[in-house]
Amino acid sequence: MPKAGYIGVDGTGRKIKKGYFGVDGAARKIRKGYIGVGGVARPCWSGDPISYYGVITPGSCLYNSHIACQVGGYALFGGGAWKATSSGKRYAYGTVAAYGPDLTYTQISNLSTARIVARSAYVANYAIFADGQYYSSGDYEYTGAISVYDGALAKVSASLTGSGGIDNGAAVSAFQGRAIFGGGVGDTAKSTVYTISASLTKASLTGLTTAVGDNGAAAAGESYAIFGGGNTTSSESANTTAYSASFTKTTCPPFGQIMTHYHAFSCGDKAIFAGEQATDVYSTSLTRSAGPVLQRWSGGTRNQNYLKTPDGKYIVLAGTGYTELLDDTLTVTQIAAAMPAEPTNLSRAEAFAGNYLVRAYAGPSSVTREWETHAFKYEG
């Protein structure tokens, strides 16, 4: 399917930026163009950089609390849990779904340990699912298991162990040739930080300034990887910890205020932590400034590693009834690429597969399992 519309000019194909039709003597802008594919109307052209593509094959192997990663043009979704019995405990699963650049759905090899994965990241040609929790022998247990997949979707044998005792930590992908994992919560909040290199070698770093779980992480270009916010064992934290390009722990200004329900992602050379009431932006010199409050953005996972468009121009923030693009000047553009109402009581995760942003829903945590997967088409 074409990614855009073109017209011949002097024997050369030129991309159509805007299109108009005459309606009652007035020029009206064409918002979208569609073509029939298998009896379904699919967008073939849009004046906007991204458009809602539609519902695609659901990830029927997925469970509630699954997590996303990406590698080699594929979006991967794995782990999760389901309350399959009346005991009230959620049993973990290790199934992994993959969507290719053409949105083909495939179930690939399971995680090495069935679990609700704590965090994920990519580096070089590897997708990494690290740490997590599962239910066993009458109680929840925590694991430092690490599962790695390459760009051909093959599960890679690697002798790696994460932090252990960790759930709900944070990670930064592809920073100075490494993926960095930090924080998390188990019996107590953790300050542990480690890296995994492109050769799948693990190395420990000096721990976070404050032991926290449910924290966020993002990179300010290739200058600093920043971990911020989260929960200690007794309160919420606004503290941050930065790691330089040489992986040296560095003092970093705290958030301007404690943020709840915030999200972390990298945009251009900036690390961004966006909450419901405030957005903090960190530069390559670790200067903190206020950014645009993304008031319409709700839901999703805290660490938005995988919402950057393939060309790196935008972060895609999409939800019920809206889509927003954030560029490296911190300009927010609202576009007409809205998806239908989101499924209720299902967890979601999202990542790019080629030029498609794939959003996979699964759950709920009990009763009958459900799945639903949507796609957005990026046209640059």
Distance between CA atoms of residues 321 and 57, nearest Å = 22
- In the prediction, which pLDDT does 345 show? 82
Q: What global pTM score does this model have? A: 0.85
Distance between CA atoms of residues 169 and 142, nearest Å = 12
Mean pLDDT on 279-304:
76
Residue 242, strand partner residues: 226, 250
Mean pLDDT on 152-158:
93
Mean pLDDT on 152-174:
83
| In the chain, % of residues over pLDDT 90 | 46
* More confident of the two residues 368 and 93: 93
Q: Which residues contact 119 (CB under 8 A, 6 or more apart)?
A: 67, 130, 131, 168, 169, 170, 171, 181, 184, 303
Domain locations in the chain as residue ranges? 6-43, 48-378
The architecture of the domain spanning 48-378 is: 6 Propeller (2.120)
pLDDT at 290 exceeding the cut of 90? yes
Distance of CA 350 to the CA centre of its chain: 5
Q: Which residues contact 133 (CB under 8 A, 6 or more apart)?
A: 92, 115, 116, 118, 140, 141, 142, 143, 167, 186
Mean pLDDT on 85-111:
89
Mean pLDDT on 204-221:
93
- In the prediction, which pLDDT does 205 show? 96
Quick: pLDDT tens for 50-93. Answer: 888 999 999 999 988 899 999 999 999 999 988 766 666 778 89
| In the chain, % of residues over pLDDT 70 | 78
Identify the band that residue 139 occupies on the pLDDT scale cut at 50, 70 and 90.
confident
